[in-house]
Amino acid sequence: MEFRHLGRSGLMVSEISYGNWITHGSQVEEEAAFACVRAALDAGITTFDTADVYAGTRAEDVLGRALQGERREGIELFTKVYWPTGPGRNDRGLSRKHIMESINGSLRRLRTDHVDLYQAHRYDHSTPLEETMEAFADIVHSGKAHYIGVSEWTAGQIREAHALARELRIPLISNQPQYSMLWRVIEAEVVPTSEELGLGQIVWSPMAQGVLSGKYLPGQPPPAGSRATDEKSGAGFIARFMNDEVLTRVQRLKPLAEQAGLTMPQLAVAWVLQNPNVSSAIIGASRPEQVHDNVKAAGVRLEADLLKAIDEIVEPVTERDPARTESPAQRP
């Protein structure tokens, strides 16, 4: 495993991080979830990402139990707040009330007294940013979180939050966006702003919800049991990539992966890590062998001619519009 600084902070994270968005507590049984976490640890992954909303808070609980017995100082534990975690009007968003209550719930489920990174899961247009950042400051100053991050915020929102963070003397060090060969909306504005301000990207869906694995074939129905057939596993989200033009071009990437000595998933993960502003790529897994395969993308350096060939294939179907950065309906 290779390691990188998260932005310009002193925090080191594994190039490959393990996330449990639609696996733990919902898609896979607990025994399989524990086995995947063990595989991640055995492969050298030290960075684990979750959120209070995943599987209705169950994902945090499963991850907390799976990591019990590990040396707390040896792992980087990330979680998020924003999406509804209860039926009440204040069980959502980035109000002071919800943030303060949510961090306590997350720490209880994760079986720890602090998280290394606490992230705003989306921007809250109904709460003053000052209120949100002051609540985060109190959490950092109380020792319940070491660093603060955001997820799917626009460049302008990141800039405003960063200015407040400096005033409040708290370290805002990261953004967690969707990023892959097919979804590059952060490149035009978010990445340059993050580089200027010292934030690193912790990217989710580097394989475009599995589309870049090559398992979905044009003109054919999705394999039984795959993510594209399971509404609980993100079928609605993956739909944007499930058309013959995209799938045909993805199949044309296979010879390039073979040329590089990589599997298709490895090529997809290695590709996002070529961006110097990317600190870590989040992978998910329902089987330990998926972890073992994906981690081999760590430390891979793709040649310039290979990157150019990839661009030539996927460019006609690549999404680059910065306006797509903020997508409140998505949950990475």
**Which residues are designated catalytic?**
54
Cα separation, 284 vs 44, in Å, equals: 15
Which one-letter DSSP state was computed for residue 323? G
Distances (CA, A) of 32 to 17, 18, 27, 49, 285: 18, 14, 10, 17, 9
63 CA to centre of own chain = 15
Cα separation, 7 vs 196, in Å, equals: 10
Strand residue runs (E) in the chain: 3-5, 12-14, 16-19, 47-49, 76-81, 115-120, 145-150, 172-175, 200-203, 278-283
Please give the full DSSP string across 294-305, using - where no structure is assigned. HGGGTT----HH
Nearest to 83 by CA among 124, 118, 47: 124
- Take residue 5 and report the two structure tokens written for it: 């600084």
CA angle 54/56/61 to nearest 5° reads: 75
Tally of CB atoms within 10 A around 164 = 17
Which positions ≥6 away from 66 have C-beta within 8 Å?
24, 33, 34, 37, 38
Q: Are 148 and 171 in contact (CB under 8 A)?
A: yes
